[in-house]
Chain A
Amino acid sequence: PEEEKTHDEL
């Protein structure tokens, strides 16, 4: 399964 995007901004 595709990995979830890491949101590194607030």
Chain B
Amino acid sequence: MNLFRLLGDLSHLASIFILLHKIQTTRSCRGISFKTQALYVTVFVARYLDLFYRYVSLYNSVMKLFFIASSVYILYLMKYKYRPTNDPSIDTFRIEYLLGPCVLLSLIFNYKFSVTEVLWSFSIFLESVAILPQLFMLQRTGEAETITTHYLAALGVYRALYIPNWIYRYITEDGVVDPIAVTAGLVQTGLYIDFFYVYFTKVLQGQKFELPA
């Protein structure tokens, strides 16, 4: 564990609390992509199967359980409690275009051709693109509630912080590198660049998140 990873994980936690706060206070999941949230459940379940057979640390287990539980809870809120505020007609990204390539990539690139390792790889590849339905929705509507942009910013910061974490680990842990996680992580962080540009130049200056027409 190092500071970058810890702050990254805390940012990830924060993003989930921001999202829950947004849904509960506005009593609405407007502007949130159900597809992206469903992909995150898939990611966490596929990756954290090792909860059943491997113990890393209390921190690790608690975080994994939290990420699974909170992501399932968010789906429940969207699908049942605040269902009328969820508008599937603007959540139109075709996730089969993400799932298919991720299945294929995980079958080719994995650390061992076993069910759990392929699922782990799949979860890494899928996480890297899971935000796309959400960003696509944002692009389509051209605007977002400020709180929703804080959610996305926290998620982006989490991903960005994992990069110095890998550099730090490479230096301090004698050249240790996880090529699958790093490659997918760089792609994932890259997807946030456009968003961050608007976030920093507009939202943090007190303006509404609006994309140019």
Contacts and interface: CB of A to CB of B under 8 A. Distances in A.
B116 A4 contact: yes
Q: What secondary structure prevails in chain A residues at the interface with B?
A: loop
Interface string A1-10: 0101111111
A7 B181 CA distance: 10
Contacts of A2: 112
Contacts of A9: 5, 162, 165, 178, 181
A10 B116 contact: no
A10 B112 contact: no
A1 B64 CA distance: 28
Nearest to B63: A10
Given A4-B112, A5-B111, A10 B9 contact: yes
A6 B117 contact: no
A10 B11 CA distance: 12
B50 A7 contact: yes
Interface residues of B, number: 22
A9 B48 CA distance: 11
Q: What secondary structure prevails in chain B residues at the interface with A?
A: helix
Interface string B5-45: 10001001000000000000000000000000000000000
A6 B5 CA distance: 17
A3 B112 CA distance: 9
B56 A8 contact: yes
Nearest to B165: A9
A10 B9 CA distance: 8
B192 interface: no
Interface of B: 5, 9, 12, 47, 50, 54, 56-57, 60, 63-64, 67, 111-112, 114, 116-117, 120, 162, 165, 178, 181
27 contacts: A2-B112, A4-B111, A4-B112, A4-B114, A4-B116, A4-B117, A5-B111, A5-B112, A5-B117, A6-B54, A6-B56, A7-B47, A7-B50, A7-B120, A7-B178, A8-B56, A8-B57, A9-B5, A9-B162, A9-B165, A9-B178, A9-B181, A10-B9, A10-B12, A10-B60, A10-B64, A10-B67
